[in-house]
Amino acid sequence: MSTATSGTLDAKKSPMWSSGHGHDAISTRTLGFWLYMLSDAMMFTALFAAYTVLGHEVNAAGGPWATTVAHPGVAFKETVWLFSSVLAYGFAMIALKRGHRGGVMLGIAAALLIALGFLSVDIHEILHLFRIGATPERSGYLSAFFTLVFYHGLHVVVGIAWMLVMLVQVAFAGLSEKVVYRLLNLRLFWHFQAVMWVFMFTFLYLRGAIV
Protein backbone atom coordinates (compact mmCIF):
# COMPACT_ATOMS: atom_id res chain seq x y z
CA MET A 1 0.00 0.00 0.00
CA SER A 2 2.78 2.39 0.86
CA THR A 3 4.50 1.66 -2.43
CA ALA A 4 1.41 2.55 -4.41
CA THR A 5 0.99 5.74 -2.45
CA SER A 6 4.59 6.84 -2.96
CA GLY A 7 4.27 6.22 -6.70
CA THR A 8 1.23 8.44 -7.01
CA LEU A 9 1.65 12.03 -8.09
CA ASP A 10 0.27 14.88 -6.05
CA ALA A 11 -0.55 17.84 -8.31
CA LYS A 12 0.61 20.28 -5.64
CA LYS A 13 3.63 18.44 -4.23
CA SER A 14 5.13 16.62 -7.20
CA PRO A 15 8.11 18.38 -8.80
CA MET A 16 6.81 17.26 -12.17
CA TRP A 17 4.35 20.16 -12.12
CA SER A 18 6.87 22.73 -10.93
CA SER A 19 8.02 25.52 -13.23
CA GLY A 20 11.56 24.14 -13.55
CA HIS A 21 11.98 20.41 -13.10
CA GLY A 22 8.56 19.49 -14.41
CA HIS A 23 8.96 21.27 -17.73
CA ASP A 24 12.32 19.58 -18.43
CA ALA A 25 11.10 16.15 -17.33
CA ILE A 26 7.96 16.27 -19.41
CA SER A 27 9.80 17.65 -22.45
CA THR A 28 12.40 14.88 -22.26
CA ARG A 29 9.84 12.11 -21.90
CA THR A 30 7.66 13.40 -24.78
CA LEU A 31 10.46 14.21 -27.25
CA GLY A 32 10.43 10.76 -28.80
CA PHE A 33 6.68 10.89 -29.21
CA TRP A 34 6.92 14.29 -30.88
CA LEU A 35 9.36 12.76 -33.37
CA TYR A 36 6.88 9.97 -34.07
CA MET A 37 4.10 12.48 -34.67
CA LEU A 38 6.36 14.42 -37.03
CA SER A 39 6.84 11.28 -39.12
CA ASP A 40 3.10 10.62 -39.00
CA ALA A 41 2.41 14.19 -40.15
CA MET A 42 4.73 13.58 -43.10
CA MET A 43 2.74 10.46 -43.97
CA PHE A 44 -0.52 12.40 -43.86
CA THR A 45 1.08 15.09 -46.03
CA ALA A 46 2.06 12.51 -48.63
CA LEU A 47 -1.48 11.12 -48.68
CA PHE A 48 -2.98 14.60 -49.04
CA ALA A 49 -0.57 15.27 -51.91
CA ALA A 50 -1.65 12.04 -53.61
CA TYR A 51 -5.29 12.98 -53.14
CA THR A 52 -4.65 16.41 -54.66
CA VAL A 53 -3.10 14.80 -57.75
CA LEU A 54 -5.81 12.16 -58.12
CA GLY A 55 -8.70 14.42 -57.10
CA HIS A 56 -9.54 15.51 -60.64
CA GLU A 57 -12.72 14.13 -62.18
CA VAL A 58 -10.78 12.37 -64.92
CA ASN A 59 -9.26 10.09 -62.27
CA ALA A 60 -12.73 8.91 -61.27
CA ALA A 61 -12.72 6.80 -64.48
CA GLY A 62 -16.40 7.43 -65.04
CA GLY A 63 -17.31 6.21 -61.56
CA PRO A 64 -18.44 8.04 -58.42
CA TRP A 65 -16.60 11.33 -57.85
CA ALA A 66 -16.38 13.96 -55.13
CA THR A 67 -19.88 15.31 -55.70
CA THR A 68 -21.25 11.83 -54.97
CA VAL A 69 -18.78 10.61 -52.37
CA ALA A 70 -18.17 13.74 -50.27
CA HIS A 71 -21.04 14.44 -47.87
CA PRO A 72 -20.29 17.56 -45.80
CA GLY A 73 -23.34 17.01 -43.58
CA VAL A 74 -22.11 13.60 -42.47
CA ALA A 75 -18.56 14.91 -42.09
CA PHE A 76 -19.86 17.72 -39.89
CA LYS A 77 -21.46 15.15 -37.57
CA GLU A 78 -18.12 13.36 -37.36
CA THR A 79 -16.43 16.68 -36.59
CA VAL A 80 -18.78 17.29 -33.67
CA TRP A 81 -18.16 13.78 -32.32
CA LEU A 82 -14.37 14.00 -32.60
CA PHE A 83 -14.00 17.49 -31.17
CA SER A 84 -16.35 16.61 -28.31
CA SER A 85 -14.09 13.65 -27.55
CA VAL A 86 -11.04 15.92 -27.55
CA LEU A 87 -12.87 18.30 -25.21
CA ALA A 88 -13.74 15.45 -22.84
CA TYR A 89 -10.11 14.36 -22.78
CA GLY A 90 -9.17 17.95 -22.01
CA PHE A 91 -11.32 17.76 -18.88
CA ALA A 92 -9.43 14.60 -17.94
CA MET A 93 -6.18 16.58 -18.22
CA ILE A 94 -7.57 19.29 -15.93
CA ALA A 95 -8.42 16.60 -13.39
CA LEU A 96 -4.90 15.18 -13.83
CA LYS A 97 -3.33 18.54 -13.02
CA ARG A 98 -5.41 18.63 -9.83
CA GLY A 99 -4.47 15.06 -8.94
CA HIS A 100 -8.11 13.92 -9.12
CA ARG A 101 -7.96 10.26 -10.11
CA GLY A 102 -11.72 9.81 -10.46
CA GLY A 103 -12.00 12.89 -12.67
CA VAL A 104 -9.24 11.57 -14.93
CA MET A 105 -11.05 8.25 -15.35
CA LEU A 106 -14.38 9.95 -15.98
CA GLY A 107 -12.89 12.24 -18.63
CA ILE A 108 -11.12 9.39 -20.42
CA ALA A 109 -14.24 7.22 -20.33
CA ALA A 110 -16.32 10.06 -21.80
CA ALA A 111 -13.72 10.71 -24.51
CA LEU A 112 -13.65 7.00 -25.36
CA LEU A 113 -17.43 6.67 -25.66
CA ILE A 114 -17.72 9.82 -27.77
CA ALA A 115 -14.91 8.58 -30.02
CA LEU A 116 -16.91 5.40 -30.57
CA GLY A 117 -19.71 7.64 -31.83
CA PHE A 118 -17.34 9.18 -34.37
CA LEU A 119 -16.19 5.73 -35.45
CA SER A 120 -19.75 4.43 -35.85
CA VAL A 121 -20.70 7.34 -38.13
CA ASP A 122 -17.49 6.84 -40.11
CA ILE A 123 -18.13 3.10 -40.60
CA HIS A 124 -21.77 3.70 -41.53
CA GLU A 125 -20.76 6.21 -44.20
CA ILE A 126 -18.09 3.88 -45.62
CA LEU A 127 -20.58 1.01 -45.86
CA HIS A 128 -23.04 3.32 -47.62
CA LEU A 129 -20.41 4.25 -50.20
CA PHE A 130 -19.58 0.59 -50.74
CA ARG A 131 -23.26 -0.17 -51.35
CA ILE A 132 -23.47 2.43 -54.14
CA GLY A 133 -20.38 1.00 -55.81
CA ALA A 134 -17.85 3.54 -54.55
CA THR A 135 -15.05 1.15 -53.61
CA PRO A 136 -11.29 1.80 -53.48
CA GLU A 137 -10.49 -0.38 -56.52
CA ARG A 138 -13.02 1.46 -58.70
CA SER A 139 -10.72 4.37 -59.60
CA GLY A 140 -7.59 6.29 -58.68
CA TYR A 141 -9.71 9.01 -57.08
CA LEU A 142 -11.53 6.58 -54.80
CA SER A 143 -8.27 4.84 -53.89
CA ALA A 144 -6.81 8.15 -52.70
CA PHE A 145 -10.04 9.09 -50.91
CA PHE A 146 -10.40 5.82 -49.01
CA THR A 147 -6.70 5.62 -48.19
CA LEU A 148 -6.99 8.90 -46.28
CA VAL A 149 -10.26 7.88 -44.63
CA PHE A 150 -8.93 4.47 -43.60
CA TYR A 151 -5.60 5.86 -42.40
CA HIS A 152 -7.26 8.42 -40.16
CA GLY A 153 -9.82 5.85 -39.00
CA LEU A 154 -7.00 3.49 -38.03
CA HIS A 155 -5.54 6.23 -35.85
CA VAL A 156 -8.91 6.73 -34.17
CA VAL A 157 -9.12 2.99 -33.43
CA VAL A 158 -5.61 3.10 -31.93
CA GLY A 159 -6.63 6.12 -29.84
CA ILE A 160 -9.72 4.32 -28.53
CA ALA A 161 -7.68 1.24 -27.63
CA TRP A 162 -5.09 3.46 -25.94
CA MET A 163 -7.78 5.17 -23.85
CA LEU A 164 -9.09 1.78 -22.76
CA VAL A 165 -5.60 0.72 -21.69
CA MET A 166 -5.09 3.98 -19.79
CA LEU A 167 -8.39 3.54 -17.98
CA VAL A 168 -7.15 0.20 -16.69
CA GLN A 169 -3.75 1.61 -15.75
CA VAL A 170 -5.21 4.59 -13.88
CA ALA A 171 -7.62 2.28 -12.06
CA PHE A 172 -4.92 -0.13 -10.91
CA ALA A 173 -1.69 1.92 -10.86
CA GLY A 174 -3.10 5.32 -9.96
CA LEU A 175 -1.47 8.52 -11.19
CA SER A 176 2.10 7.30 -11.10
CA GLU A 177 4.72 9.17 -13.11
CA LYS A 178 4.79 6.54 -15.86
CA VAL A 179 1.00 6.64 -16.17
CA VAL A 180 1.00 10.45 -16.28
CA TYR A 181 3.56 10.55 -19.09
CA ARG A 182 1.49 8.06 -21.06
CA LEU A 183 -1.61 10.19 -20.52
CA LEU A 184 0.27 13.26 -21.78
CA ASN A 185 1.42 11.42 -24.89
CA LEU A 186 -2.14 10.26 -25.51
CA ARG A 187 -3.25 13.88 -25.24
CA LEU A 188 -0.80 14.85 -27.98
CA PHE A 189 -1.90 11.93 -30.14
CA TRP A 190 -5.60 12.68 -29.74
CA HIS A 191 -5.26 16.38 -30.46
CA PHE A 192 -3.24 15.50 -33.54
CA GLN A 193 -6.13 13.40 -34.86
CA ALA A 194 -8.44 16.40 -34.49
CA VAL A 195 -6.00 18.60 -36.41
CA MET A 196 -5.72 16.04 -39.21
CA TRP A 197 -9.51 15.78 -39.34
CA VAL A 198 -9.75 19.54 -39.93
CA PHE A 199 -7.64 19.09 -43.07
CA MET A 200 -9.70 16.07 -44.13
CA PHE A 201 -12.96 17.91 -43.59
CA THR A 202 -11.68 20.84 -45.64
CA PHE A 203 -10.01 19.02 -48.53
CA LEU A 204 -12.06 15.83 -48.84
CA TYR A 205 -15.55 16.98 -47.94
CA LEU A 206 -15.96 20.76 -48.27
CA ARG A 207 -13.69 21.13 -51.29
CA GLY A 208 -15.03 17.91 -52.79
CA ALA A 209 -18.63 19.05 -52.48
CA ILE A 210 -18.12 22.36 -54.31
CA VAL A 211 -15.82 21.32 -57.17
pLDDT band (50, 70, 90) for residue 119: very high
- Counted domains in the chain: 1
Residue 95 lies in a domain: yes
Assess whether pLDDT exceeds 90 at residue 128: yes
Residue 45 lies in a domain: no
Residue 57 lies in a domain: no
Name the residue range of residue 126's domain.
71-210
Looking at residue 198, its amino acid is: V
Residue 62 lies in a domain: no
CATH classification at residue 129: 1.20.120.80
Is residue 91 within 8 Å of residue 164, measured between CB atoms?
A: no
75 closest CA partner among 187, 211, 198, 210: 198
- Global confidence as pTM: 0.84
Assess whether pLDDT exceeds 70 at residue 61: yes
Q: In DSSP terms, which residues pair with 176 in a beta bridge? A: 8
